[in-house]
Structure 1
C-alpha cells in the first residue's frame, strides 16, 4: 500500500495522530473484532499492537501467529508518517511484511503473539527491534571501539572514540572525540551497533572538549 494523505488537515498534533492510529487499528464485523492494545511513536514512525478476536468466542486461527490462551492473536503494525504542506499522511505495514523501520519498544513487542515460523519476516523484524534496543547508551567519558571503521565526511575514518558532548543554547548534544585525530564528530545510534566499551572515565570528556575548544581559540589569536 502507498501513502495516504488527509487533505482536510484534521490531523495536526501528537494527540490527533494517536487517535487516528487507534481508529485505523479498530475494526468490527459480524465475525471478528480488531482493537488497538498499545501504540508508541519513535521519531516519525508509529508502532502498534493490535488484537484480533472472533466474536463468537472461538479461537482465532492464523498461519503466522500462535493463538493466545484467550483465543486471540496480537500482531505488530508499523505506520510511517509525515506531513506535506501541513497534510498528515501515513503508510502502514503489518510486521509479517518485513518493514524496514525496526525501533519498536520492547514493551510493545512483549504484547505480541508468538510466531509459528522462526524464519518469517515478522521474526526477523522483531529481532531487528531487539538489536536496536541492545545498542548501548554510552555515558560521558566512555571510550568506545566501533564494530567497524566509520568513514567521515572528509574522507577519513574512525573506530575508537570517546563519548562527550557540546552545548547549543540550553541543549546538551552528544558527540564523540576521535582517538586518532582529537577531532569531534556526531555519530548516529546505528553506528554504535556491535560496539565495545574499552573503558570509562566519567566527567573527563567534557574537560577534554573544553581544552580542545580553548586551544582552538588560542590558536586564532
Structure 2
C-alpha cells in the first residue's frame, strides 16, 4: 500500500495517529455465506506520531485466531502548507519492515509464524530491545567497535558518559570535548570494565 494523506478534519474526530489507526484496522464483516471475518487491535503504540506498531488478531465468527503485527510509517505535520497534515503507509510484518522498534508488550502477543521475513523482523525488534535495555551510569567509559569521526575532526573509540536527565552526552577523555551520537542506545558499544586498585596489606 502506498501513502495516504489527509487533513486533520478527515480523521473522524481522532486526536492522534494511534487512535485513528486503531479504528481503521478494527472491523467485523459479514459474508454472503453467513460467516463473519474480523480484525481486532489487541495493543498498539505510536510514540511521537512517527511509527505505529500494533498486534492485530484475526477473528472468524467471533472466534479469536492468529495474531500478527501491523506497522505504519506516519507523517504528522500540523503546519502542512498543503493541508495534508496526517499521512500513513501501512504494511504487515511479513513485508520485513526496516522499522524494528516494536515494544515488547506487542511482540509478546504475536502468535508463531513460519513466514521468514516476519520472523526476521521479530528477531531484529528483540535485538533492538536488548540494546536499549543496557544499563549505563554517569561516568561509565564506553567503547565502540570502530573509531568514530566527528565534524571537528576528532577520532576516537572510547568516551566517558555524561547523563543529563534522559540525554546522554559523550566526553572525549583526551580532550574533554563533548559529543552527541544519534541513536546511541541502538548502536553497538560496550562498557569498559573499571580497573579496581586493591590496597596493599603489610604484615
Say whether 1:134 aligns with 2:130. yes
Give the distance between the partners of 2:58 and 2:46, measured in 1 at CA. Answer: 22
After TM superposition, list the pairs within 5 Å mapping 1:76-91 onto structure 2.
76-84=69-77, 85=80, 87-91=85-89
Q: Deviations over 1:47-69 (max 9, x none)?
A: 11110011174xxxxxxxxxxxx
Structure 2 match to 1:51: 57
**Aligned ranges 1:139-158 → 2 under 5 Å:** 139-158=137-156
SS in 2 for 1:134: helix
Unaligned 5+ residue runs, structure 1? 58-70, 202-221
TM-score (norm 2): 0.78
2:17 paired residue number: 17
Which residue pairs with 2:172 in the alignment? 178
1:78-114 Cα shifts (integer Å, max 9, x gaps): 1111134161111111011011111011111000011
46-55 vs 146-155, which moves further: 146-155
Structure 1 runs, 4 residues or longer, greater than 4 Å off? 10-15
- CA deviations over 1:151-187 (Å, ceiling 9, x no partner): 2123432211111045xxxx76321112343211001
Change (3 A) 1:191 1:157: farther
* SS of equivalent to 1:49: strand
Structure 1 residue 122 and structure 2 residue 115: aligned?
no
Could you say if the C-alpha distance between residues 141 and 96 of structure 1 is closer, same or farther in structure 2, counting changes exceeding 3 Å? same
1:92 aligned residue (90, 94, 102): 90
CA distance in 2, matches of 1:56, 1:113: 18
- Number of equivalenced pairs: 182
> What's the secondary structure of 1:72's corresponding residue?
strand
Q: Could you tell me how far 1:27 is from its partner in structure 2? A: 1.9
Aligned to 2:201: none
**1:120-143 C-alpha deviation (Å, 9 max, x unpaired):** 111111111111111125221111
Instruction: Give the equivalent residue in structure 1 for 2:68.
Output: 75
Q: CA deviation at 1:45?
A: 1.0
TM-score (norm 1): 0.72
- Cα distance between partner residues in 2 of 1:96 and 1:8: 30
Question: Does 187-196 or 37-46 show the bigger shift?
Answer: 187-196
Distance 1:180 1:126, change over 3 A: farther
- CA RMSD in angstroms comes to 2.7
Aligned to 1:5: 5
